[in-house]
Structure 1
Amino acid sequence: MNLQSTSLGSLNLQIRKRIFDLFFNHQIKHNYCNQFERFITYMIVLNMAGLVLEHIPVIYETREQLFHIFDVVSLGIFTIEYLLRLYVAPEDPAFSSAKYPRLAYFKSPFAIIDLLAILPFYLGAFLDADLRALRALRLLRLLKLFRALAPAVNEFLEKNKDKSFRYKIYALVNETPTSGNLHQIFDMFIVTWVIVSVLAVIFESVQSIYYHLHSEFIILDTIAVLIFSTEYFMRIYSAPEDPRFQGWLKGRLRCASTPTGIIDLLAILPFYLEHFLHHLFDLRFLRVFRLMRLLKLARYSGATQSLFTVIKREWPVMKAAVFILLLLVMLAACLGYVFEHEAQPDKFENIPQAIYWSVITLASVGYGDISPITPAGRAVTIVIALLGIGIFAIPAAILSSALSDQLRIERESMMNELYHMLEDGVISPDEQELIEAEAKRLHLTQGELKRLLEKAKVEMGLEHAPDEDAKDPKGKGVSGEMSLEFLSKHPELAAEQLKITISKLQQIVSVSDRQELSKFAENPDNVTTLQGNMLKLLLEHGGEKAKNKG
């Protein structure tokens, strides 16, 4: 019986530790801790959205059952989370030192929030009382977000404790070595509001939706503008921390005049113009420009930045292609007007109208609303349709090839960074974070990143490429010196390697018998002339150092 109890206790400890390591241990890198917290965060946000939608009668009254099912599912997920955290509390370093770890967790602020987030449902289910007022406590689920936010805030404050207030703002809105996870959370918050506000603008155009949710759309847009305005002023205020924007006034003006600064301004400007100048002008047409908020996402996309780089680099070639394209459009429009004006004066009324026909023909769209009927007009159509296949493909081919080259250049830059980081033979945790961030920007998988690291180590001679003749028992490459092929391509590393080799030779001479070494060097059968001269030089240098010490 005792043996059985011992085995059950041991199994319980193993299960508890396994659950903690899988879902709650931040010290382990490749577990499910981040994914689990992200899932809980998404559920909290969806619950808040559901709580808001419940107060819109046109949505809630016809879908009350669906809202109830979602609430039950959410409650089940939050209950499981609470019970799991309570179960693994003895494994958590924050509570393991307490006499009763689970009681210590139960009394902790986050545990109380977690309990209050699920308590109203159970009170309403098991107590015969009108507890509808307790449903308002579901708002406490929003406080569960602080579980993910609090560590990021503490990390941010610790990294920036000696920094100025302006630099802290700069580190929050821009990626810096001291930004930490709080910057990523801030970016995700802005991206979420960009998507929500753009969707609201789109749905506003649907009259049946706008009729019922007119007030909600106004409130949502006001909140979005307040958030984007705050972000904009934070970026302008902290701009002088960037070396490109030095200067109290000029630096901020330069920051505001950058493409991303102009986009941020255009995202909020229509709201203020319409609000303050509506009595002077009819500015409702400006509402459509709120869709420009979507351009704010370009700041958070590495692919978009690569595209802009490619367009800027290939612009001279692109200009030539665009010029030829415009030339063909104008030529085709003029010929179309000449040949079709008399036959179809209503469709080919003037050259600008013929330009429309020319563009849709060259682009191989062919709507069919304007088509030639004369033999000469049809012959021109055949020629420009065939030309259009190639002429429109030129810019696409240029961009495709340039994007491929840009990706190759960026990966080569990453390889050079890896070479630089591996100069001391190891990669520090900070360097590992930088590598993973760059790999994420370049959309590299963990497998591809691992292969690049292995390739860099092999080329630097830190490891040999695995083969049948050179493997340790675990199948790993045997460590060695940097390869000559690699050193021939990197003279600065070759110089460093020579310095290290000379230092090693000096150490060998200092611990060896100089007389025996000298006899060995004087015998031409033992060494070449160059080797003998080098040995003599090392011995002389070692002798001088010994005299100086004496």
Structure 2
Amino acid sequence: MGFRLKLHEQVINQSTGGNTSIFNKLSGATIAVSIFFAVLSTENQIDFQFGGQIDAIDWIIGCLFCIEYFCRAWTAPLEGKYGEGIEGAIRYMFSPMAIVDLIAIVPSFIGVRTELKILRIIRLITILKVGRSERFKQSMLHFNYALRSKSQELQISTVYTLLLLLISSTLMYLAESSIQPDLLGSIPRCLWWSINAVSSVGHGDSVPISAVGKIIASVTSLMGIGAIAIPTGILAAGFSESIAVQKKNLEESAQESIT
């Protein structure tokens, strides 16, 4: 088996019995390190003290990304869907994920040691490379399955949340509009308060001061627990079903291969 074919199997994860290949593990580790230092460099004090070292690490990571990019382009014609030869490699280079890879590589070599934060933040584009991860792809498949299979339940939960927001904001308007006209003097303003109460964020910029308003706020907060918990449980059930379906399909495929 030629080196190019072995590399292709590593790139597309076909040589390790369903587990993540060494090539993709190294790629994932490089992406994680790149994102870590890209996030770290947005802290001015750290960037001022260790900017040179971070740039050197970023340059090395950029070189590793280049190697990965050319490996994928070199082996892309073996995949079939891009065509053969140089034309296949060129078609791959114009594919969405290849363009994302290229965009993620460029910031490492354009010199971002300036006071323009926007140039340093460009490094965060490497986050998009997480989309190559097989675990990420599997997670998205499970998430999409959960949304599709539980769409009706999620719609009911959404209606419940919207009604809770509307009713609580209306009641709060009736209770507090005359007392706090600047903060709670309209239903839209009360709606902002209601969203904070239901989501348990509670910014504190508008709070009821009357006894009736506090009762409304207490009931809204308690019912808000259900507004958060219900869709969470629905999605969790959808995830479990998706994983169960995947396991069942794998078992059936294994049995078919044995027979």
Match of 2:143 in 1: 311
CA RMSD of aligned residues (A): 4.1
Superposed, 1:431-442 pairs within 5 Å as none
8 Å CA contact 1:198, 1:293 repeated in 2: yes
Superposed, 1:440-479 pairs within 5 Å as none
Q: CA deviation at 1:219?
A: 1.9
1:200 pairs, out of 31, 37, 43, with 37
Letter in 1 for 2:176: E
- 1:178-235 Cα distance to aligned partner (Å, 9 max, x none): x89xx83322322232232222234324444333212111222222233324434543
Distance 1:229 1:363 in 2: 44
Superposed, 1:253-402 pairs within 5 Å as 255-256=95-96, 264=101, 267-268=104-105, 271=107, 275=110, 284-285=117-118, 287-288=120-121, 290-291=123-124, 293-294=126-127, 296-297=129-130, 299-302=132-135, 304-316=136-148, 317-318=150-151, 320=155, 321-322=157-158, 324-326=160-162, 328-329=164-165, 332-333=168-169, 336-337=172-173, 339-348=175-184, 354-402=190-238
Match of 1:212 in 2: 49
Distance 1:324 1:421 in 2: 48
* 314 and 191 in structure 1: CA distance in 2 versus 1, 3 angstrom threshold: closer
8 Å CA contact 1:372, 1:378 repeated in 2: yes
Letter in 2 for 1:210: D
Q: Percent identity?
A: 25
8 Å CA contact 2:8, 2:78 repeated in 1: yes
Match of 1:160 in 2: 2
Letter in 2 for 1:313: Y
> SS of 1:343's equivalent?
coil
> SS of 1:189's equivalent?
helix
8 Å CA contact 1:314, 1:402 repeated in 2: yes
Q: CA deviation at 1:404?
A: 1.7
Match of 1:224 in 2: 61
Q: CA deviation at 1:346?
A: 4.5
Match of 1:481 in 2: none
1:175 aligns with 2:13: yes
Distance 2:70 2:185 in 1: 52
8 Å CA contact 1:201, 1:291 repeated in 2: yes
Match of 2:249 in 1: 413
Q: Which has the higher contact order (CA 8 A, sep 6+)?
A: 2
- 1:242-285 Cα distance to aligned partner (Å, 9 max, x none): 355558489537731xxx5576456446x27x949999xx9623
* 228 and 346 in structure 1: CA distance in 2 versus 1, 3 angstrom threshold: farther
> SS of 1:415's equivalent?
helix
Letter in 1 for 2:248: E
- 1:70-110 Cα distance to aligned partner (Å, 9 max, x none): xxxxxxxxxxxxxxxxxxxxxxxxxxxxxxxxxxxxxxxxx
Superposed, 1:18-37 pairs within 5 Å as none
Letter in 1 for 2:200: S
Distance 1:268 1:355 in 2: 44
- 1:101-139 Cα distance to aligned partner (Å, 9 max, x none): xxxxxxxxxxxxxxxxxxxxxxxxxxxxxxxxxxxxxxx
Distance 2:51 2:122 in 1: 19
8 Å CA contact 1:204, 1:210 repeated in 2: yes
8 Å CA contact 1:198, 1:291 repeated in 2: yes
Match of 1:10 in 2: none
* 299 and 392 in structure 1: CA distance in 2 versus 1, 3 angstrom threshold: same
Distance 2:167 2:81 in 1: 46
| Greater mean alpha carbon deviation, residues 320-329 or residues 206-215 | 320-329
* 351 and 170 in structure 1: CA distance in 2 versus 1, 3 angstrom threshold: farther
* 267 and 211 in structure 1: CA distance in 2 versus 1, 3 angstrom threshold: same
Q: CA deviation at 1:362?
A: 0.9
8 Å CA contact 2:146, 2:242 repeated in 1: no
TM-score w.r.t. structure 2 length? 0.71
> SS of 2:95's equivalent?
helix
* 225 and 353 in structure 1: CA distance in 2 versus 1, 3 angstrom threshold: farther
* 418 and 277 in structure 1: CA distance in 2 versus 1, 3 angstrom threshold: closer
Unmatched tracts of structure 2, length 5 or more: none
- 1:41-64 Cα distance to aligned partner (Å, 9 max, x none): xxxxxxxxxxxxxxxxxxxxxxxx
> SS of 2:251's equivalent?
helix
Distance 1:278 1:334 in 2: 52
